[in-house]
Structure 1
Amino acid sequence: MLELISVSHIFTRPAKEALTALDHVSFSVPAGHLLAVIGATGSGKSTLLHLLAGLQHPGGGTVLFRGKDLGQAALHPNEIGYVPASDEVLSDVLTVRESVMSALLLRVAGQTKEQRVDRASHLLVGVGLENVASQRVGSLNPTQKRRLKLALALVSDPALVICDEFTDGLDAKSQSEMAALLKFVTTDHPARVVIHATQMAANLAAYDTVVILHEGHVCFHGPSRAVTHYFSIQAIEELYPRLAKRPAARWGESWMRHRDSYYAAFKLGSSGESLKAPDEEDDGVDSQGVTLPANDQSPAPETQTEPPAPLAPALPSLQAQAQHLIQRRWTLFRRTQREWTSQLILLVLSPIVAALLILPNDHYLSELTSGNTAPAVLWPAAYTCTMGWLLQILLVLIFGVRTGAREIAGERALYRRELVGGLRPMAYLLGKLGFILPIVILQTFLLGLTVEILTGGLPGYAFPRMLLLTLTGIAFSSLCLAISAHCRTAERAHSQAWTLAFVNLFLCGALLGFPRVLGSVIHPLVTAYYGWSGGIETMQATPVFEPLTLFVRTWFATPTLALLALFIHFVVGVLLTLRGLHKTQ
């Protein structure tokens, strides 16, 4: 059912030597089969799983699944169930049942709510989580979280299930239970292949066959009972020390020389005792040591009819996926007290602080409105307008960093898991925008409205300034989201977003202006410039505008031009975010 033919993969690293992760890996797995891929860290297990899951493309060789070349046409996402090693792929504040229901909504189309509830209940019973279905994921123990990850991978009833370190790090009893659970999952679907990559060499008897990887080379493939004989060891615990005694390439060459003889012996039901243990001077097992039939021609194995695989269910539409992601993200927001508390504090205190900083000089604005244009009033009023508007732009930049910087990078593992299951990057992006934009719009609108009410408003047209303030927040948030999509960790994304905010603050032209020619080159790249200069331009018909042009030697964009530029910045941020999501894909 699954066949790998001379699959290789090399990682190229800048200024470093290329790293060979897989070197001509070949083996096949029939339907209804549970396979263990055993190897130490760096053996190529994770790379092999990523190739099978479609997260990476092989550098060479062929991968066939039910006769289809996966290099030519990828599997339907619902034919694959991927169980990653990290628990970061789970949302801690969702309940167990909600997690399974969420996976169903993202992967399986055409089901009624009752059908999804029944399917979720069936899966939870199958993996042994029906008693904790109403508990939040964050309260589960490590074994229960692995059961849940397996349930999420099985929602579409996939024909290929891939598990990464599913039993590693557990106690002996739990390891045995998890291995038995994988065996149950294999037999539950007659056309299913289950592959488990692990460092643990325990409970190998639970698997139908074992592939042993060592530094990218296949060193053995066969039943677990033959492992100790092939490597001339007394117990399976001696496997890794034995592998370390010879280069991986020699183990791989030895297996390739004797593979066909061993495959023939395994098909004929040869017992482990009939295999000759390797000699210390030999690289592997002598093919003459394999017990074969006395006649020259080996009897052909019985022809097995591969069970038909059911058609993979269709994926939900882009709109359905996006709608569910928006609802799920708002649910996570409501249940994460630290997140909504910090946003609430920012929402309430920021406009109040801005107004309080403007109020000490507010009497200059009042006298200017009354017609007093004396220099002692006009120049302080101009300074107040410049700094008051810059303060609001600064707060908007903070809103963007706080809302967008960690949004994607903080759940990178979750996104990769759902990507394997058929999540569309565009749906994921729409889900993020459906969460971020309402928050940013509310924050910026309340900021501008509060300042206008408490201070009596800056001179000029208030409505265009409100639009500029809101669109500045939207544009900068989309750029922070783009940074998040391209960073591997939330901390790195947060740091880079703050750097971008400070660069915007210094280059917006509010403190000192660039020479006109240089400014025309730099300003199109600075989001805050259009928010600040467009807002200043709304004061053109007031007495304060002329002192402003003398106070700061910056060319001011018209409100219309500023709004257009900010919209372009928003679109650029969205496109860069989508590119980062596709890069992960």
Structure 2
Amino acid sequence: MLQLEKVSVELHTGDEPQRLLNQVSLNFQRGTLGAVIGPSGCGKSTLLKLIAGLHHPSEGEIIWDGRNVMTEGDIEPSELGYVPQFNIAHETLTVRESLEFMLSLRSRLRRRAERDERLGHIIQRTGLAHLVDRPSKVLSGGERRRLALALEMTSNPALLLCDEVTSGLDPKSETDITRLMRDISRDGDRLVLNITHSLKHIDQYDTITVLKRGRLVFHGAPDHMLGYFNIEHPEAAYDRLEEQEAEAWEAQWLESRFATAPDIATPEGWNTLWESNSTPFVGEVQDMPPEPEPPFSTGMSPGGRFAASSGNGDSPLSTALSRKLAGRSTPPMLTSSAPPTRPAPASAYAAAVAEPAEEMEAALAAQETPEERAAVEEEIASQQQERQSRPSPLPGAISQFITLTRRRWLLFLRDSEQMSLQGVLLILFPCLVALFALDGLTNMKNISMQSEINLLQQIKENSEYAAHTIKVGSLVSGLVMFQVILLTLMGSNNSAREVVSERLILEKEKLAGLRTSSYLASKVFFLVVLVWVQSAVMTIFVKFICRFPGDLLDQLTMLLLVNGAMTAVCLAISAWSRTTEQASLLSVYLVGFQLPLSGAVLALPEGFRIFTQPFIASFWSWAGMLVTMKDTRYYDAVKQVTTTDLSSLTLFICGWVLVSHVLISLVIAFLGCNRNQWAD
């Protein structure tokens, strides 16, 4: 059971807080389907996010299955499912792949047989059997909603929250999805709450909750809503709500006996309400003509959870109301029959029913009579049904990391545009650098030390040597910086969209129990591979084509670190950005500032240089590359063309500054990924 006791939510945006929900008290039974309706901006999504733990109430209590979630912790991720109104699946994955990955992220099922059993049950229940091999991007609107519901069913949540999953669908798809939600609520004693604007299928719901401007206007069975608002058709409720302010409707609800009546979604609550001799409606309901008293029998029907079939198709709730208004005193006692008692399992197979199929078959073969075999089969079916309805414990952090890494590489290999771009950059950028020195670096000239050279010849030789030194120094410095800038550009392309492009999926998976550490670790592992390949190709290609002096491993380390630093910084930008455009723009700007602020081309003012230099990754990689040539004359040539002081720098200092860029950026990225963007 889910209970909300005088819950309020306030948004602090100015001098005075804005109240999104005001003193809302609700009661929902498990095994029911509830609709939350009301005008746009009335607080429907806020209510669902409050229940999901995305918002925190400013006052009031939320009780789930007897546990106060305000004091004893949020609802467990394995108990909660949340279906947002947007698409929440990777479009290049097939339906089966999406479900398999989600099952691995949310369930600790280790045996393949158990996983296949769970997956088959979900696919069959949601009607996706004929779509399992189709990628998500080709699914229709209704099929996407089925997939969204199926993804949440992978953890068997006891509470499923749906945010307008039927909006924008054609009439048939809307009907199918509504019935599917109803079936899901009956499967495993699950509470399903759905935000909707459509009241065409009101008979499919067990409870209707009406909100206006954050205030509770009505909460009860569908049969009662028409009488409460004194309307003939459900769609007229919206027009009726406009006749009074939200405060007036709230006061009217609180004054009615409905607000203090027992839970009318249960037979016991309805019978108690009947015996209290109170009229559950407000308005001129007494003018409604009484209905004839038909015979009826209790049972399930599309009209409500405890609806009964009668001679004219009326539900027992409306029939009971007619009797009440007509002065009859005998209430229709709605009862729910207990499930039939199953035969007790024989001791020979009592422990085998929870084991894999081989043990089950052995237990069946051990029975001698048809009656014993039938009892075994019935118990096995019962145990399988129990396993299907049992919430799944979350897998460990390493298991989630492996699943996310597998999924990321599969997505990358299926993204032909991204793979083509990475391939072009991998080949093109090293070639661009090598174009400036296809014949290798020019050998440094020597100054003649002969004493018989006259003064004019010595001045000419010194002038030629200085010009040659400046030319070679500029070439070496430029080639090094060109490599660095191109690798920073590749780094920004690696990660600028990595998180923000799937932010909505990340938020939903975090709500389902995904660990931020596992998510970020999978991203880092994927990006490290890209960075290694890009940096290695650039270093080795340019090293042997241009015959760069210096140690190969040290130069690879410097280029690897600058690529990694920019990749990590852009990953942090992606984790904190709201749109892919914003992340891409900031990353491009960041790369654009690397060259002018590095000090390799233009000398920076001393005060400005001290402030900016620690944050410019390109400077430290450029300086580190030059330090690897310190024992060559090329290093002296570079010193002739730059005003930047390199004498105090070492390979160790440059490397650790770049490592600090990586580590700090990963911490910022973790905080960005861990941030709850849905609550903003």
Structure 1 pair 51/304, CA: closer, same or farther in 2 (3 Å)? farther
Q: CA deviation at 1:537?
A: 2.2
TM-score, length-scaled by structure 1: 0.90
Deviates more, 1:33-42 or 1:368-377: 368-377
Q: CA deviation at 1:499?
A: 1.7
Q: Which of residues 546, 550, 569 is equivalent to 2:661?
A: 569
Structure 1 pair 188/511, CA: closer, same or farther in 2 (3 Å)? same
- 1:329 aligned partner, one-letter code: R
Counterpart for residue 433 of structure 1: 524
Structure 1 pair 101/16, CA: closer, same or farther in 2 (3 Å)? farther
SS at match of 2:633: coil
Counterpart for residue 434 of structure 2: 355
Please give the per-residue CA displacement for 1:235-275, whole angstroms capped at 9, x wherever unaligned: 2222222222322222222212215467359433679x975
Aligned mates of 1:52, 1:413 — CA distance in 2: 19
1:476 lines up with 2:566 in the alignment: yes
Structure 1 pair 24/276, CA: closer, same or farther in 2 (3 Å)? closer
Q: Which of residues 360, 375, 391 is equivalent to 2:482?
A: 391
SS at match of 1:423: coil
For the 8 Å contact 2:473–2:639, the answer to whether it is kept is no
SS at match of 2:675: helix
Aligned mates of 1:311, 1:137 — CA distance in 2: 28
Deviates more, 1:147-156 or 1:549-558: 549-558
Counterpart for residue 251 of structure 1: 249
Please give the per-residue CA displacement for 1:507-554, whole angstroms capped at 9, x wherever unaligned: 111112334454233211222221112212222222232343342222
Q: CA deviation at 1:301?
A: 11
Structure 1: gaps spanning 5 or more residues = 281-288
Deviates more, 1:195-204 or 1:539-548: 539-548
Please give the per-residue CA displacement for 1:337-374, whole angstroms capped at 9, x wherever unaligned: 11111111111111111211344xx56x3222899992
For the 8 Å contact 2:473–2:640, the answer to whether it is kept is no
For the 8 Å contact 2:6–2:24, the answer to whether it is kept is yes
Deviates more, 1:99-108 or 1:226-235: 226-235
- 2:406 aligned partner, one-letter code: Q
Identity %: 30
Q: CA deviation at 1:19?
A: 3.2
Counterpart for residue 349 of structure 2: none
Aligned mates of 1:139, 1:178 — CA distance in 2: 18
Counterpart for residue 286 of structure 1: none
- 2:270 aligned partner, one-letter code: L
Q: CA deviation at 1:303?
A: 12
1:418 lines up with 2:509 in the alignment: yes
Aligned mates of 2:658, 2:3 — CA distance in 1: 52
Aligned mates of 2:490, 2:28 — CA distance in 1: 53
Counterpart for residue 47 of structure 2: 48
Aligned mates of 1:102, 1:39 — CA distance in 2: 36
Aligned mates of 1:500, 1:444 — CA distance in 2: 19
- 1:334 aligned partner, one-letter code: L
Structure 2: gaps spanning 5 or more residues = 286-321, 339-385, 449-463
For the 8 Å contact 2:257–2:280, the answer to whether it is kept is no
SS at match of 1:135: coil
Counterpart for residue 270 of structure 2: 268
Counterpart for residue 56 of structure 2: 57
1:549 lines up with 2:628 in the alignment: no
Aligned mates of 2:528, 2:118 — CA distance in 1: 34
Q: CA deviation at 1:431?
A: 1.0
Counterpart for residue 368 of structure 1: 444
SS at match of 2:408: helix
Which protein is bigger by CA-based radius of gyration? Answer: 2
For the 8 Å contact 2:85–2:163, the answer to whether it is kept is yes
Structure 1 pair 170/299, CA: closer, same or farther in 2 (3 Å)? closer
Q: Which of residues 567, 588, 596 is equivalent to 1:506?
A: 596
For the 8 Å contact 1:212–1:221, the answer to whether it is kept is yes
Q: CA deviation at 1:16?
A: 7.8
Q: CA deviation at 1:467?
A: 0.6
SS at match of 2:595: helix
Structure 1 pair 96/301, CA: closer, same or farther in 2 (3 Å)? closer
Q: CA deviation at 1:311?
A: 6.0
Q: CA deviation at 1:320?
A: 0.8
Structure 1 pair 249/400, CA: closer, same or farther in 2 (3 Å)? farther
Counterpart for residue 584 of structure 1: 676
1:99 lines up with 2:98 in the alignment: yes
Counterpart for residue 205 of structure 1: 203
1:339 lines up with 2:418 in the alignment: yes
Counterpart for residue 278 of structure 1: 283
Deviates more, 1:148-157 or 1:254-263: 254-263
Structure 1 pair 541/44, CA: closer, same or farther in 2 (3 Å)? same
Q: CA deviation at 1:100?
A: 0.7
Please give the per-residue CA displacement for 1:322-343, whole angstroms capped at 9, x wherever unaligned: 1111110000111111111111
- 2:222 aligned partner, one-letter code: S
Aligned mates of 2:43, 2:446 — CA distance in 1: 77
Deviates more, 1:109-118 or 1:122-131: 109-118
Aligned mates of 1:503, 1:584 — CA distance in 2: 31
- 2:33 aligned partner, one-letter code: L
SS at match of 2:56: coil
Aligned mates of 1:264, 1:446 — CA distance in 2: 72
Please give the per-residue CA displacement for 1:391-422, whole angstroms capped at 9, x wherever unaligned: 11111111111111100000011101111111
For the 8 Å contact 1:106–1:324, the answer to whether it is kept is yes
Counterpart for residue 217 of structure 1: 215
Q: CA deviation at 1:291?
A: 5.9
Structure 1 pair 304/219, CA: closer, same or farther in 2 (3 Å)? farther
Aligned mates of 1:404, 1:553 — CA distance in 2: 34
Q: CA deviation at 1:110?
A: 3.7
Deviates more, 1:221-230 or 1:566-575: 221-230
Aligned mates of 1:358, 1:226 — CA distance in 2: 84
SS at match of 1:492: helix
SS at match of 1:433: helix
Q: How does 1:96-245 map to 2 (within 5 A)?
A: 96-190=95-189, 192-245=190-243
Q: CA deviation at 1:64?
A: 0.6
- 2:416 aligned partner, one-letter code: Q
SS at match of 1:23: strand
Aligned mates of 1:295, 1:463 — CA distance in 2: 94
Deviates more, 1:403-412 or 1:224-233: 224-233
Aligned mates of 2:650, 2:663 — CA distance in 1: 20
- 1:236 aligned partner, one-letter code: P
Deviates more, 1:509-518 or 1:66-75: 509-518
Aligned mates of 2:507, 2:615 — CA distance in 1: 31
Structure 1 pair 322/462, CA: closer, same or farther in 2 (3 Å)? same
SS at match of 1:186: helix
For the 8 Å contact 1:44–1:213, the answer to whether it is kept is yes
Q: CA deviation at 1:302?
A: 8.9
Counterpart for residue 315 of structure 1: 394
Number of equivalent positions: 566
Higher relative contact order (CA 8 A, sep 6+): 1
Aligned mates of 1:206, 1:316 — CA distance in 2: 35
Deviates more, 1:494-503 or 1:252-261: 252-261
Counterpart for residue 650 of structure 2: 558
For the 8 Å contact 1:262–1:290, the answer to whether it is kept is no
Counterpart for residue 285 of structure 1: none
Q: Which of residues 419, 442, 457 is equivalent to 2:533?
A: 442
Counterpart for residue 78 of structure 1: 78
Q: CA deviation at 1:81?
A: 1.3
Aligned mates of 1:384, 1:471 — CA distance in 2: 23
- 2:468 aligned partner, one-letter code: V
Counterpart for residue 408 of structure 1: 499
For the 8 Å contact 2:95–2:136, the answer to whether it is kept is yes
Counterpart for residue 494 of structure 1: 584
Aligned mates of 1:447, 1:212 — CA distance in 2: 63
